[in-house]
Structure 1
């Protein structure tokens, strides 16, 4: 492996390690020492790649959303499935991830949305960019579902996608508070209603 490959690998290793820590403790709850100790890298390696903790936070969110979007593309654009089934499969995937204790599966948009949006404009914009990309994909799936007849809602697909994303974000926050699956059950019922409500 070239020196460039090794150095890039170091950056990705720091981001992957930090994602688990931040998903478990939040952005403010994780210090630079925690990241360095868990990643097993010296302080200089961190500042070689990130000029500040805020810059690191932006890169962390970009890295997270890049991986997440690649993962959900396999669900949202699965062949041989109609639009409705693709969207409901994504909702099931969302619920499963939120109910797991594994920090690797946790959604950083849910974890950090309220925490960092008032703290850092750059991180807020990174969150907006990532969540907008998810909503855009959901809108495309809804459009496809309308075309194949599996979704009968007459709402504008992108507006419906925004509503559904907000619904599931809210359900995720309520799950964190109650530790009960009722919020997801109600979100799924509301989703199915919205996909058929004309």
Structure 2
């Protein structure tokens, strides 16, 4: 009878996979490197994941859960105006990216560029994460529209998509230049124009 899955081993694999895939990319790390980093035998990998692609899907879910856990509370903070919540969320993400000198980028964006054309399984997970991310931002925008803080009559969901697309572009440029200039442009140009707010410095 097969041994039941150990959640601690699964967590160690996910933590190791997240670090290695975020740093080196999906193709830049092998299963043995992942299991060595996690401190588990290579053979045990297949007790938890059917393939490396299956593992990448789990890593993406693990990554999004960490983003939601560590930064999503900004979007749910009822003590602040909805538009302020959106700004605070991206300010916090910027500070987080600065800790690694803007070198890692966003795993969602990185995996999109590396795997979306080659893996339907990964592409579906990325699409699902984008839907969830968009829903969180759109909920704030919908509140802002109701309170009169957000001008216009466009779809909050479409505006949320545009904001995330602008953010991903800023993150990509930040990774290329390993500098915060693109994040500053996002704060001083993109966010104010999209939300009708004042510019906010990310310094």
The two structures have a TM-score, normalised by structure 1, of 0.89
Q: Match for residue 191 of structure 1?
A: 191
Report whether the alignment pairs 1:71 with 2:83. no
Q: Does 1:36 align with 2:35?
A: yes
Q: Deviations over 1:135-183 (max 9, x none)?
A: 1110011011122233224321111001000000011101111223221
Partner of 1:27, secondary structure, is: coil
Instruction: Give the equivalent residue in structure 1 for 2:172.
Output: 173
Query: Given that residues 142 and 157 in structure 1 are in contact (C-alpha distance below 8 angstroms), is that contact kept between their aligned partners in structure 2?
Result: yes
Q: Corresponding residue for 2:117?
A: 118
| 8 Å CA contact retained: 1:13, 1:39 | yes
Unpaired runs of 5+ residues, structure 2, are 198-203
Matched residue, 1:148: 147
Q: CA RMSD in A?
A: 2.1
The SS at the match of 1:80 is coil
Q: Which one has a larger percent helix, Structure 1 or Structure 2? A: 1
Paired residue total:
193
Counterpart CA distance in 2 for 1:47 and 1:62 is: 18
Q: Is the 8 A contact 2:36 2:42 kept in 1?
A: no
Q: Which runs of 4+ in 1 moved over 6 A?
A: none
Structure 1 position 106, deviation (Å) = 5.5
Equivalent residue for 1:136? 135
TM-score by length of 2: 0.87
Q: Which moved more, 1:181-190 or 1:145-154?
A: 145-154
Deviations 1:69-108 (A, max 9, x none): 23333110112101110000011122222222189x8631
